[in-house]
Amino acid sequence: MSQLPACPQCGSEFTYQDGALFVCPECAHEWSGETAAAVEEARVVRDAVGNVLQDGDSVTVIKDLKVKGSSLVVKVGTKVKNIRLVDGDHDIDCKIDGIGAMGLKSEFVKKA
């Protein structure tokens, strides 16, 4: 029989599993079976060269990128500081000087 985790809220060992959730019968706390570390390990974002990217990194654009809805272009070599990794079709949220907030795909950047 597998060992179920203790309740993170009250420490009770009498937890049970209900579908994808664990439930504590003493304090009625419910939580998912995945830990925060397991979720972070599952999502790894890499740049065009294969380096692992993290929140707060600085990256350099490796290809001219047209900005949708405007005539602006993000030029090759543009350095972007303090990126934030997000889920979705674009992996990176950032602010670029002269353009503003935008989303980038990790395949078009290189870690600086």
Domains and CATH numbers, the chain: 1-39 (2.20.25.10), 58-111 (2.30.30.40)
Strand segments, DSSP code E, in the chain are 16-18, 21-23, 30-32, 45-46, 52-53, 59-61, 65-66, 73-74, 79-80, 84-85, 92-96, 100-104, 109-111
**0.95 exceeded by the pTM?**
no
Q: What is the residue-level pLDDT of the chain in tens, covering all 112 positions?
A: 458 888 888 888 889 888 888 899 999 888 887 654 454 556 789 999 999 999 999 999 999 999 999 999 999 999 999 999 998 889 999 999 999 999 999 999 999 9
